[in-house]
Amino acid sequence: MSRILIVAFALVGAIVGAAFATGRESLIFYTSFGLKGTGGLIIATLLYAYFSMILVYIGQRFRNKTPHKALYALSGKPLGIVIDVVILLTMFSTGVAMIAGGGSILHQQFDLPFWQGSLLMAVITALTIMLNARKVVIAVGALTPFLLLFLIAICSYSLINNQTPLTELEPLVLKTKETLPGTLPNWLIAALNHVSFNMAVGAGMALVIGSCEKNPKHALLGGALGGLLIGGILLLGHFNLFTNIEAITASKAGKLIVADMPLLAITASLSPIVSWLMMLIIFGMIYNTSVSMFYVVSARFVPMETKQSKPFIVLLMAVALLLSSFGFTDVVGYLYPLMGYLGFILIGLLLYAPFKFRRKSI
């Protein structure tokens, strides 16, 4: 049982990143669709369990291969290269969102210009990668389970203290859809898109996690449990946003405005101290996710810790900083769904994988 839990929690740590913690992902993909979004989340949870199980099992089955070579072995090299590119683009998009998120969180908490927070996040990300400050990343990464527990505690407290029926809150919740990009036409497409996006983001780590497990049964059960936990965390965040919709919205000149960092806005309504703690937690998770994404992308193009890696990292961060100027809300609202649609190629492979495993031994 302990091995199953290790696989499950490792998977949760790999996929549940900073955008989860801000509440922005849940708002765009689920909460903005009202109670129908809850149905989407239930479907997404089941899909997370299934696809996570398959990904971890593929990693276990091809444990002597690197993640991208495991995909090549399963899909063939031409399709494998396409999927590899989609995964890299998804990771880069996530990194761009983190740079934008650095600007949003400092603007929301301290009213600093967006570009200052984004520049700070880009600089500390680049320095961490170039100076190989692994101890910093490991330390922040090790705190992730505790940070998630804090987030769960805040969400649970907020839910327990809410007495308003969801049906009364739904009209205001549905109005938030007007403030978001129209990239997701309905609740079902949104749920499928979100699963696709996060499977692409977490594919590399899921394959690595599977490769570390010798027992196929542990890989399968651990992957499934991890997927269910991811869905459970999303459900908790979804209901937290739903029940605190008035705390994350405001009206300005007759126009509805939604906080860039909804969860930070909720904690601000509870206590200034809790809000400060939440700001530090989210900033730390944004930093950790940013370093992880850009390190992996950089490592696929240049040998790390060499002279040629530094100019590449600077160029990569400059491009990311430029794209982040569109703002956290638009980056998550446009780039994430776009990568989710591209990620359906990976989802197709994961649907096909069990049939290929049954047909022949590979």
Confidence at residue 358, expressed as pLDDT on a 0 to 100 scale: 75
Please report how many Cα atoms fall inside a 13 Å half-sphere around the Cα of residue 233, on the Cβ side: 29
> Which residue, chain included where needed, has tokens 């649970």?
156
pLDDT tens, residue by residue, 73-83 = 888 888 989 99
Average pLDDT, the chain: 88
Confidence category of residue 168, pLDDT binned at 50, 70, 90? very high
Residues whose CB is less than 8 angstroms from the CB of residue 86 and which lie 6 or more positions away in sequence, other chains included: 200, 339, 342, 343, 345, 346
Residue 136 banded pLDDT, cuts 50, 70, 90? low
Residues in the chain, total = 362
Contact indicator for 7, 223 with CB cutoff of 8 Å: yes
Question: How many Å apart are CA 136 and CA 350, to the nearest integer?
Answer: 34
Could you tell me the fold of the domain covering 2-359? Amino acid/polyamine transporter I (1.20.1740)
Tokens of 30: 């689920």
* Ranges of each domain in the chain: 2-359
Residue 202, C-beta contacts closer than 8 angstroms, at least 6 positions apart: 11, 14, 15, 52, 55
Burial class (CB in 10 A: 0-12, 13-18, 19+), 181: middle
Residue 21 pLDDT? 75
What is the structure's pLDDT at 350?
Answer: 92
* Mean pLDDT lowest among 20-24, 155-159, 171-175, 286-290: 155-159
Task: Give 141 or 288, the one with higher predicted confidence.
Answer: 288
CA 66 – CA 178 distance, rounded (Å): 43
Q: Average pLDDT of 59-73?
A: 84
**Structure tokens given for 314:** 């600077």
Residue indicated by tokens 């320095």: 127
> Which stretch of 100-104, 146-150, 292-296 has the lowest confidence by average pLDDT?
146-150
The secondary element (H helix, E strand) that includes residue 255 is: strand 255-258
- SS3 assignment, position 251: strand
Tens of pLDDT along 29-46?
999 999 999 999 999 999
Cα gap 140→15, rounded to integer Å: 15
Contacting residues for 235 by C-beta, under 8 A, at least 6 apart: 38, 41, 42, 45
User: How big, in percent rounded to 5, are the helix, strand and coil portions of the chain?
Assistant: 80, 0, 15
- Per residue in 192-202, pLDDT (tens digit) is 999 999 999 98
What confidence tens digit (pLDDT) does each residue in 225-266 have?
Answer: 999 999 998 998 899 999 999 999 998 877 899 999 998 898
